[in-house]
Amino acid sequence: MDPEASQTARESLDLTFHMSNILETGLDRHTVSVLIGLCDLGLNPEALAAVVTELQREPCSPFPMPETPSSAS
């Protein structure tokens, strides 16, 4: 990537991240960058937004849930 294109991409990411903060999306800079990249690859932005919204709703656990033994033997 030439220096001018690199600078333009960086400025676009800065602007998009700033808009994300104004809209209080809760997305970090890296996530915004990944989402932009996915859109550039042709993924539907509305579908990505729906996935992000759904993932933000789900409680996340730092550890996997242990399996409980089945009571039916």
pLDDT in tens, 3-59: 898 999 999 999 999 999 999 999 999 999 999 999 999 999 999 999 999 988 877
Quote the domain boundaries for residue 38.
Answer: 3-57
User: For residue 30, is it within any domain?
Assistant: yes
User: For residue 44, is it within any domain?
Assistant: yes
User: For residue 28, is it within any domain?
Assistant: yes
User: For residue 33, is it within any domain?
Assistant: yes
Give me the amino acid identity at 58.
E
What one-character DSSP code corresponds to residue 45? H
Q: Give me 4's structure tokens.
A: 């001018």
In angstroms, the first-to-last Cα distance of the chain is 62
User: For residue 27, is it within any domain?
Assistant: yes
| Whole-prediction pTM | 0.72
User: For residue 62, is it within any domain?
Assistant: no
Taking the C-alpha atoms of residue 30 and residue 14, their distance in angstroms, rounded to an integer, is 11
Q: Give me 26's structure tokens.
A: 């809760």
What's the total number of domains in the chain?
1
How much is the pLDDT for 46? 97
Length of the chain: 73
